[in-house]
Amino acid sequence: MASTCLLAPVARAQANAEGSTPAAWFAAYQRGSRLVQIRHRDTLNLFCLGEGSPTVILESGIGESAYTWRLTQLRLAKLTRTCAYDRAGLGRSPGGRLPRDTRSEVADLEALLRAADVRPPYLLVGHSMGGYNVRLFASRHLRDVAGLVLVDPSVEDQVPKMSAAVPAAVAGVEQARSRARACADSHRTADVAASCAPSPPADLPPEMAAEYVSWYGLTFSQTFQSEIESFLTVASKQVAAERRSLGSMPLIILTRGERSSNLPADQAENEWKI
């Protein structure tokens, strides 16, 4: 099992990703990722690099694919085996069954690790809402988890707590929720669909940028909308319902604040993102 000695360099690699480039990671991802059948008609895209134990499992935030880890996975893979994956409906993974709540996504991850024969022990790294997913997984599989690294993680009852403390910070959540609903509408207009697609990343060559943009169609929008609704309604409750003591399991939390021009200076440090 891993100790804090192993978690520390993993945390540092997430915080300081010098030496990796998005294009280098994307080229490796295009060559090395594979679709794994996790159950009848359901597949997930998995991308593993490196060798060693424990295996690092990288879990992204709301609406994010394995691309989230483009600046860290290559570095982490120099330490041990490191796997990123695209949740259903994100990146190269086909759409999955709705709703995309925490329990369904953790069930998918459990099935993926079994089907791909990715064996424990696992060192789980969860970003933002992905922190919910890895914590629920850890509660279910205490003996299989060597440690947790939570990167700006979501916490129980985050929305009502932030709403009470910093009302201005929560306005953006409802705006994102409304936009997600419009983008997920199967009858959306061409103009709305165009507004829902991201601009190509400037640091990717054209052929890579084209694939990246292709991920953001209607299936993505419906997945993203479902994940937001889950985050705002049931994810916190699902994690709390199965929460267990982690005992002596090593745990590192990474967080960083950014000042927003839209908030008063005394409130800016409390701004949050999902």
Tokens 């409390």 correspond to what residue? 270
Q: Are 7 and 149 in contact (CB under 8 A)?
A: yes
Residue 151 pLDDT > 60: yes
pLDDT band at 267 (very low <50, low <70, confident <90, very high): very low
- Mean pLDDT confidence for 183-192: 96
Which structure tokens are listed for 132? Answer: 């919910």
What is the model's pLDDT at position 273?
41
Helix 102-115 to helix 130-140 angle (10° resolution) is 60
Determine the 3-state secondary structure of 69 from DSSP.
helix
- pLDDT tens for 35-54 read 999 999 899 999 999 999 99
pLDDT band at 256 (very low <50, low <70, confident <90, very high): confident
Determine the 3-state secondary structure of 251 from DSSP.
strand
Q: Are 104 and 34 in contact (CB under 8 A)?
A: no
Q: What does pTM read for this prediction?
A: 0.87
The superfamily (CATH) of domain 4-156+235-268 is: Alpha/Beta hydrolase fold, catalytic domain (3.40.50.1820)
pLDDT band at 266 (very low <50, low <70, confident <90, very high): very low
Helix 206-214 to helix 22-32 angle (10° resolution) is 70
- pLDDT tens for 86-115 read 999 999 999 999 999 999 999 999 999 999
The span from the CA of 72 to the CA of 52, in Å, is: 17
Q: How far apart are the first and last CA of the chain?
A: 31
With a CB cutoff of 8 Å and minimum separation 6, the contacts of 229 are 99, 177
pLDDT: which is higher, 194 or 166: 194
The span from the CA of 33 to the CA of 87, in Å, is: 13
